[in-house]
Amino acid sequence: MNARTDGGSSAWWRRFADGALEFSIVGSFTRFGLLARRGLFDWEQSAAPPDLSGRVIVVTGATSGLGLEAARSFAGRGARVHLVGRDAGRLDRAVATLRRDTGSEMLATSVADMGELDQVRTLAGELRSRYQRLDVLVHNAGALLATRLVNSQGVEATVASQVLGPFLLTDLLLPLLQRTPGARVITVASGGMYAEKLDVDRLIMGPGEYRGSTAYARAKRAQVALNEEWASRTEGSGVTFHAMHPGWADTPGVARSLPRFRRILGRSLRSPAEGADTIVWLAISPEVLESNGLFWHDRAPRSTSYLPGTSMAPGEKARLWDWVRHELHDAADPAFVTAPSGRA
């Protein structure tokens, strides 16, 4: 029984302690929060079955950090894991590492930049041709860019790689996901999104106003909103959608993009494996199939807004959905098909 929802006498103080951690932010996002919750809710006793034999899992951004650790856990449980990354050499090294650490030979790779929509279409075609099922799609790719860049279509790179690309890949793989019982789509967002409100008109930052951390937080906020829309618009399809944030983890991306932040927090940062824990749990836990469209941290659903002024305006998620569809149609060939614009 889930310690958060059971009616036992000890449940109230566990929920209180968890809520206090969440309210503190630092206590929740650092390694301390994960270790505390692991003890509070006895994660080891509620671990999902380890055998993932026969399941197919695709992980984007899988060459390092959270993506590599999630892929390691899936491969170690016997899943067929397909790693997606931008660099062929780094993918080869990631596969070599996973084979050495897990002994798995069921590893495949595709080179694709999630911000380049033609490459996303090619990736989707490869996956559809290769697999008859897709159990889990993990959207993990995405970097915090200090300098404003654009993709080959002229779209700001943060939005292209973390909003448009994942939406397009999900859309093109949706029939494959729907053919697979219990299929899941997991989006790796960031706690940084709490600082920003969803505003479609301000999602793309221009050259004169661009700040990497703000662009990243806005894109992550958009990811969480789209996760909710996917869940609502595909209700009854058999596919569940969830987003999560990993807390503050010591990944290569953090070291590269936020070196001062990393120095200040030091050993209180989570390891990449600890940051990836909820990704893996969402991918394999049976109880996750009982819900849809939620935002998770440390194996529990969380509020999507805490700060004043960051609550979502009515209709803004639908505006975002329509804007993304419009952007993708502009960059697509006439055969491009997306999920229905009306709710199921």
The CATH number that applies at residue 291 is 3.40.50.720
Structural domain includes residue 152: yes
Q: Would you state the pLDDT for residue 76?
A: 96
Q: Are residues 90 and 194 in the same domain?
A: yes
Structural domain includes residue 5: no
The tokens for 14 are: 């566990």
Structural domain includes residue 243: yes
Sheet harboring 80-85: ordered strands across?
A: 107-111, 80-85, 56-60, 136-139, 184-188, 240-244, 294-297, 300-301
In which domain, by residue range, is 33 found? 10-46
Specify the DSSP class assigned to residue 286: G
Phi/psi of residue 93, nearest 5 degrees: -70, -40
pLDDT over 70 (residue 49): no
Q: Would you state the pLDDT for residue 343?
A: 40
Residue 34 to residues 16, 56, 132, 162, 196: CA-CA distances in angstroms?
15, 28, 36, 26, 24
Q: Are residues 58 and 40 in the same domain?
A: no
Q: Are residues 162 and 236 in the same domain?
A: yes
Catalytically active residues, by annotation: 216
The tokens for 83 are: 């790693």
Structural domain includes residue 336: no
pLDDT tens for 276-289 read: 999 999 999 999 99
Res. 1 pLDDT band, cuts 50 70 90: very low
Arithmetic mean of pLDDT, 18-30: 91
Arithmetic mean of pLDDT, 36-65: 87
Other C-beta atoms lying within 10 Å of the C-beta of residue 8: 9
Q: Would you state the pLDDT for residue 227?
A: 98
The residue whose two tokens read 């999602």 is 203
Q: Would you state the pLDDT for residue 50?
A: 75
pLDDT tens for 232-256 read: 999 999 999 999 999 999 888 888 8
**Helix 117-130 and helix 165-178, axial crossing angle in degrees, nearest 10:** 20
pLDDT over 90 (residue 9): no
pLDDT over 90 (residue 180): yes
Q: Would you state the pLDDT for residue 335?
A: 39
Query: Considering its fold, how many domains does the chain have in total?
Result: 2
Q: Are residues 117 and 37 in the same domain?
A: no
Q: Are residues 38 and 110 in the same domain?
A: no
Q: Are residues 285 and 180 in the same domain?
A: yes
Structural domain includes residue 65: yes
